[in-house]
């Protein structure tokens, strides 16, 4: 029995990045061998075990064979005869197909080390086309490693286009699409995720509402980048800078402008009412992909209310209180932070405006703090009851926000 460190752990060590997960492959063993050593089985589709001391994953070396469409259309063989090279061959990218033994010696049959040095995302073998999830994974790795200079190999992009053309991507289940998308939105450069999917044609299949933004013009005086799709890419990257690793902020940024694709042609490049037009396609997307409730709810609030955040200083105090109420921010203040991060990303996601200040965020946080300081107990002591308390609190909160506005200039 031989044990090797594999996959992302080896790749990230070679890149000088922190290693988060340690995955291992076991060659020359049977399930009963690991069970006898106290390993705990966890795999349903193939033999994976947890180390009795560290809790890290150890998988028996295996091969896989395509038997049908989609992610589940495979049969696996895992026994003592499967070699390390055979196990590595089934992996997606060469940079993920490197193994390291206990002495630190690398096994690299598919030249992943040289691809790391060349900053290339390249498929291991023609079997890449058998798993449509790999299209999303390549795009996600692009979002992670684009800041390091990684690009997708031409031949890999050609295979991805073939997979789209052959209808393989059509068979991806919503849960897998969402899982990979969610991870991509938490990566350092999510724009690369969109560009890779668009280049291979998968964006139009998986996210038609987003793909429709490309080529839609905006007013140059507000959006020097012109193209709504390019704007979205810039907003996603701004969100990643403002809230690193926060896929909730990322998803709000991802869907905030879907209404621009629905602006009547005779109104372009203006987009009056796009914040309301965007709600229907957003709901369609979240329903189709089974997006978590809070992601869907906050994304809709950002879609509908982001222009109110931008013009916060022009809003009446009562309207600011209404905005805080729509966000449920007085009970759930973290929602305001998410909302403001997405709105600030929208404002900064414009050519030449990447470092603009966003004083609206400070004002709305101060308004929230002032409103939250108004408590019901004071009005109960005055003898008020029932709806009268709520009305009195709304009046007091509006006055408190007005005072904040007086002392909080827009610049």
CA dihedral over 106, 111, 112, 116, signed as positive or negative: positive
Which residues span the domain enclosing 17? Answer: 1-112
Round to whole Å and give the CA distance between 352 and 176: 36
Q: Cis ω on the peptide bond leading into residue 269 (within 30° of 0)?
A: yes
pLDDT reported for residue 75: 64
Q: Is residue 212 domain-resident?
A: no
Using an 8 Å Cβ cutoff, are 131 and 163 in contact?
A: no
Which residues, listed in sequence order, are joined to residue 213 by a DSSP beta bridge?
Answer: none
List all residues 6 or more positions away from 351 whose beta carbon is below 8 Å from its beta carbon.
223, 224, 225, 234
Per-residue pLDDT tens over the stretch 72-102: 555 667 778 899 999 999 899 999 999 999 9
Q: Is residue 81 domain-resident?
A: yes
Q: Is residue 179 domain-resident?
A: no
| Number of compact structural domains in the chain | 1
Q: Is residue 387 domain-resident?
A: no
Closest CA to 264 of 256, 254, 255, 274: 274
Using an 8 Å Cβ cutoff, are 250 and 239 in contact?
A: yes
List all residues 6 or more positions away from 375 whose beta carbon is below 8 Å from its beta carbon.
none
Q: Is residue 72 domain-resident?
A: yes
Q: Phi, psi at residue 231, to the nearest 5°?
A: -55, -45
Q: Is residue 58 domain-resident?
A: yes
Closest CA to 329 of 370, 293, 368: 368
> What six digits make up the tokens of 26?
């076991």
How would you write the pLDDT of the chain (411 residues) with one tens digit per residue? Answer: 899 999 999 999 999 999 988 999 999 999 899 999 999 998 776 789 999 999 999 999 988 766 555 555 556 677 788 999 999 998 999 999 999 999 999 999 999 999 999 999 999 999 999 899 999 999 999 999 999 999 999 999 999 999 999 999 999 999 999 999 999 999 999 999 999 999 999 999 999 999 999 999 999 999 999 999 999 999 999 999 999 999 999 999 999 999 999 999 999 999 999 999 999 999 999 999 999 999 999 999 999 999 999 999 999 999 999 999 999 999 999 999 999 999 999 999 999 999 999 999 999 999 999 999 998 888 887 888 888 888 999 999 999 999 998 877 776
CATH number of 79's domain? 3.30.460.10
User: pTM for the complete prediction?
Assistant: 0.92
Q: Is residue 180 domain-resident?
A: no
Q: Is residue 40 domain-resident?
A: yes
What b/e readout covers 42-75, taking b as 16+ CB neighbours within 10 angstroms? ebeeebbbbbeeeeebbbbbbbbeeeeebeeebe
pLDDT reported for residue 73: 52
pLDDT reported for residue 411: 63
Per-residue pLDDT tens over the stretch 230-260: 999 999 999 999 999 999 999 999 999 999 9
């Amino acid at each position: 029995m031989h044990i090797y460190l594999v996959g992302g752990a080896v790749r990230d060590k070679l890149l000088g990045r922190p290693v988060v997960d340690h995955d291992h492959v076991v060659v020359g063993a049977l399930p009963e061998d690991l069970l006898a050593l106290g390993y705990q089985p966890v795999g349903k589709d193939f033999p994976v075990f947890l180390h009795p001391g560290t809790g890290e994953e150890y998988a028996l070396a295996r091969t896989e064979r395509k038997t049908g469409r989609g992610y589940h259309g495979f049969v696996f063989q895992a026994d003592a005869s499967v070699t390390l090279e055979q196990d590595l061959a089934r992996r997606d990218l060469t940079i993920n197909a490197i193994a390291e033994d206990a002495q630190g010696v690398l096994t690299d049959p598919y030249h992943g080390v040289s691809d790391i040095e060349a900053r290339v995302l390249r498929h291991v073998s023609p079997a890449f086309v058998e798993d449509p999830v790999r299209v999303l994974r390549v795009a996600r790795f692009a979002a992670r490693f684009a800041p390091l200079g990684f690009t997708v190999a031409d031949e890999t992009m050609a295979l991805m286009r073939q997979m789209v053309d052959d209808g393989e991507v059509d068979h991806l289940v919503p849960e897998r699409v969402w899982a990979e998308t969610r991870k991509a939105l938490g990566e350092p450069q999510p724009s690369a995720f969109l560009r890779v999917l668009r280049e291979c044609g998968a964006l139009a299949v998986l996210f038609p509402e987003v793909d429709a933004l490309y080529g839609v013009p905006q007013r140059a005086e507000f959006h020097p980048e012109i193209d709504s799709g390019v704007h979205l890419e810039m907003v996603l990257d701004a969100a990643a800078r403002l809230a690193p690793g926060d896929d909730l902020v990322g998803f709000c940024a991802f869907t905030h402008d879907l209404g621009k694709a629905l602006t009547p042609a005779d109104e372009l490049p203006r987009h009056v009412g796009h914040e309301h037009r965007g709600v229907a396609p957003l709901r369609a997307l979240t329903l189709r992909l089974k997006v978590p409730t809070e992601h869907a709810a906050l994304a809709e609030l950002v879609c509908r209310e982001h222009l109110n955040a931008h013009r916060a200083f022009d809003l009446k105090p009562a309207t600011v209180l209404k905005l805080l109420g729509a966000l449920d921010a007085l009970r759930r203040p973290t929602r305001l932070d998410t909302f403001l991060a997405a709105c600030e990303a929208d404002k900064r996601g414009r050519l030449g405006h990447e470092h603009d200040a966003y004083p609206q965020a400070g004002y709305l946080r101060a308004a929230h703090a002032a409103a939250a300081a108004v408590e019901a107990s004071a009005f109960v002591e005055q003898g008020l009851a029932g709806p009268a308390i709520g009305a009195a609190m709304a009046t007091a909160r509006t006055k408190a926000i007005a005072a904040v506005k007086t002392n909080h200039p827009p610049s």
